Structure 1
């Protein structure tokens, strides 16, 4: 599928997930939005054990997690790694002191279904591109950002859009 554009609707998506220290065999994207939080920022990256993509993207999402929560938005991470890779990566980040606990859900998109549906799959490499898809409570896409470099700017843009859209 081509890259999603604002106005499109996110299809119902299910995938295995690493959530709060547990591996769940299949969860819907809509069920991962924390209670009371209606928007979802689906963040894509290639691999956990890639210090450039996985390390910086995940760390930046954890750093900004509270800012998104205040605006009523859940962050959900997604790579084409398995949930077992997510588990190992989060243990490594905790051991390094990079994060205190694994509170952001991580989809294990080994089937490539989620990345493909969102137009974020690099089909030549078989991995997710680095970027994000911001959706409202009705699963309508508001912002799509694909970033080769400077992923932090994409999170800034998503936060600005949320601030304007939610009136916070």
Structure 2
């Protein structure tokens, strides 16, 4: 792939499953795989109102929701970040942390946090916001939008062993659903512990099924 445009087109085709042969330098598919180790990262974040060096290694032994957002001082982004921050204790109760990341500097992160919410700011934050000024982390996770030097709305669920369990990447205009992210973490943790699988629209406490022909029939006979 010789041009930037061609690389972006190929990445989109890979996401849609329309590429038969994945090129070695595809900016999405060549970096990681589901159920395999997630790309490691480190950098400066704003955590509890202070600059702090953090890394993916800090979260080993816990689940991690690692999400990217396009830019500070924008429009959809504060609604997402505030939603995750305000509900982070629900994640922590199930041994899961949440980290946000963008290509802005940690200074810009801090300025945004210090801006009141009624003026489009973040206010007090309960989750770290990581700076990726070099774009290295965004590129490693396949979410870097080169023409604008921002990131797509990528969200990655990483388990307590550091393996990637879920990928969601939204285009810029649509935000994410915290309830669904929490449900997914709960689902993966349930399967880790019990070995059964979670059907469509599963929620904690609802029926699961055994992943075999005989066991699944018990679920099908009850729900169909």
- Which TM bucket (shorter chain)? 0.7 to 0.9
- Structure 1 portions without partners, runs of 5+: none
Residue 125 of structure 2 aligns to a residue whose secondary structure is coil
- Counterparts of 1:95 and 1:101, CA distance in 2: 13
Higher fraction of strand: 1
- Counterparts of 2:121 and 2:74, CA distance in 1: 15
Measured on the aligned residues, the alpha-carbon RMSD in Å equals 2.4
Query: In the comparison of the two structures, how many residue pairs are matched?
Result: 162
- Counterparts of 2:89 and 2:121, CA distance in 1: 16
Number of the residue aligned with 2:49: 21
- Structure 2 portions without partners, runs of 5+: 1-26, 191-203, 205-224
Tell me the TM-score normalised to structure 1 length: 0.84
128, 137, 150: which one aligns with 1:105: 128
Number of the residue aligned with 2:175: 151
140, 146, 167: which one aligns with 1:117: 140
Relative contact order, CA 8 A, sep 6+: which one is greater? 1
Number of the residue aligned with 1:60: 83
- Counterparts of 2:50 and 2:33, CA distance in 1: 33
- Counterparts of 2:144 and 2:122, CA distance in 1: 27
Call closer, same or farther: CA 1:70–1:151 in 2, change over 3 Å.
farther
Residue 133 of structure 2 aligns to a residue whose secondary structure is coil
